[in-house]
Amino acid sequence: MLELVPSAGARRGTIKVFRSGGGLEVEFDQTGEVARAQAVREVSYDEALAGLADLGLRTTTPDEWEWACGAGAATLFRWGDESAHGGYPFDHKTGPHRETNLWGLAIGQDPYKHEATTERTIVCGGDGGSTTCGGSGFFLGWLTLATSYRDDEFGEWLASDDRYADEILTRPVIELT
């Protein structure tokens, strides 16, 4: 990967993103190491799940997502029952919602970053920003990060032909036997 740094016009000490024509996006940190890499191209829900299956993976069921997010917590949010006061989750750059859960997962941190599940009309971890953009109030904006939050109308809209989503986020699962 370090060969990509010079070809992307980057020098050590700078952060640079390299995008290939084939849909690969690689972000290098200041030392020239790969900080993040992802395949970026337009895919449907079915293509995303088929791609996981080709790798021997699948996405979570809604109940598995909830269990993974809560990490066994018996509270409204994975960090407890309280939300921050005076703003929506994206207004707070730090706080318990930005930390990993007890199992080390970065999950349910941003209402705009909903995750697909095995049930096409059920997404978890957010509502695409509907509640926060709708001006429903700070608490409802935080509620989308609750481990068991599900927005039926948003999920049905995402599964419809009218949908618009610029990304499909999923939490890959490997079956253990």
Whole-model pTM? Answer: 0.74
pLDDT band at 4 (very low <50, low <70, confident <90, very high): very low
Mean pLDDT estimate for the chain: 83
* C-alpha closest to that of 167 among 134, 126, 139: 126
Residue 164 CA, chain-centre distance (Å), reads: 16
- DSSP E strands in 29-163: the ranges are 34-39, 58-59, 115-116, 123-124
23-37, 88-102, 121-135, range with the lowest pLDDT: 23-37
Listing DSSP states for 53-91 in one string gives HHTT-EEPPHHHHHHHHHTT--SSBTTBS---SSS-GGG
pLDDT tens across 64-90, in order?
999 999 999 999 999 999 998 889 998
For residue 23, the tally of other CB atoms under 10 A from its CB is 12
Residue % of the chain over a pLDDT of 90:
40
